[in-house]
Structure 1
Amino acid sequence: MEKHMASTAPQPSTNTTPQPDLCAHFSLSGRPFTQEISATRMWRHTGLDELLDDLDTAVSARMSVAVIAPSGTGKTALLRRLVDRLPETRYQVADIKVTSVGNRDFYRGLARALTVEPAGTWPGLLEKLQAYAQSLAATEARRLVIIIDEAQDMRPDVLSTLRVLTNFNLDSELLISIILVGDGGLETLLRRPDMEALRSRLSRVLRIRLLSKTETKAYIDHRLDLAGARQQILDDSAVEAVYDFSRGNLRAIDHLCRTALDLAARQKLDTIDAGIITAARKMLP
């Protein structure tokens, strides 16, 4: 069947034959713009690389930090790369997501993540965590790195207690680095007067920024290259439209491009233009 260039919008089809798979249609080796990608194949850009270096430096210096990351801006990729960079011979990493729970439930969850017996009151659990961190440092020369994701959902009274963890030490050397990760709500929480003690223990507040238009194009090209694309699939007008709709948000780019590729495959189009991107955007929530 003859293929043609993308029109400004897809037309309804009355053909009842099965629609082509986008991988077969575009001669791709795998579906692009999915989350199933190893840390080593993730797209790199200057902003995330600099943040990764800042996080690595803070952990090496036994410090704690906060990372402000709006949803869909690449925080998961950043944290995966950080964990891959931290050698297991020097660090034990606990990565937990939190909800609005009280002190006892929070510290029980943290204890489980570290394979510490989670029984007892929350002050008792703090003592167990301190003993565990000291033992890890004394017997294995390893330190704890605790990554707390969605930290904007923590109750303020629980969040403020983290200052105690940051004070755990052995021979005057700090034993735990805490990385708080959340959206703008976390930044609002940290500005509260009752968070002053915790703020003073954070060496940096880092921020993940959205992609520029040039970076958006580079990201799209990278994801298509990983999928085995051998020719340009999105023309310049399509890339422009993706940026206009997504404003450089990685998750929005993924959803939009994936939907546009499916749409173009169903329409048997070789190239995607701004019209297809606009139609794809209308199909998304």
Structure 2
Amino acid sequence: MSVAQGLSTADHRRVSDYVGRVAGILLPEYKRKLVEARLRKRMRATGHGNFSDYLDFALSSAGASVEQILLIDALTTNKTDFFREPAHFQFLERYLQRRLERGPLGRPLRIWSAACSSGEEAYSLAILMSELALKFQRFEFRIEATDIAPSMLDATRRGIYSEDRIAPVPLELRKRYFLRSRDRAKQLIRMGPALRSHLSVRPLNLISDDYGPDGHYDVIFCRNVMIYFNQANRAAIVRQMNRALAPGGLLFVGHSESIRSYQSGLISEEPAVYRKPD
């Protein structure tokens, strides 16, 4: 197979238009080299010798069943850490502790980790909730982790991370909730069953999929994903998440993501934390 030429302006426009329409992800001209590098992997996997032929296949009905999902997966940026933006977790702990001190909730707390990436955020939430459950014996919770990328959903389901990835987690919590690989040379850590039992993992496209029943979630984490969307899609996401929140529910966004111009009646509690009125 001959070495493929670079991604042309026309082909970049083809793929960026498609990904923008289907997944809401913006891939402007200055990201062309990034797009090119990621598409080369899919070209090799599918046996195509140039970008035009690959896109003809991927964007056709022949590629619709599988390849279009893998194309979007390849072009999705995934960056996360355990307890990333720790002020959010500290705020949530204080907020829930005050609420639980007034008495049990009467039902499991429902949390949604939207655009969960490889799962570190969802498991961080599971750790925090598990710690609260030690203090408040009748406290129960459920966490839904969703993402558009199959590779990230697989990583979340596995719940296996390298030792360097768990560095932000205090040692006491590591001992309580994590399992070390029997083969110490692998330096791998698995999330323990006490955490995994609280998670459900499923695919969800924030642009086109149903967010579920109105008022379903008490807490939504949707952080550092809307920066990749245009303003219209951001506004639509916030509106839908507002509907999905229960009265008094909390929405957490990334600290670099301002939603003030379309916060849909949500009340700002702290930087990047919004509450739905009771």
Q: TM-score, normalised by structure 1?
A: 0.26
Structure number with the higher strand fraction is: 2
Higher Cα radius of gyration: 1
**Whose relative contact order is higher, 1 or 2, with alpha carbons under 8 Å and at least 6 apart?**
1
- Give the TM-score, by structure 2 length: 0.27
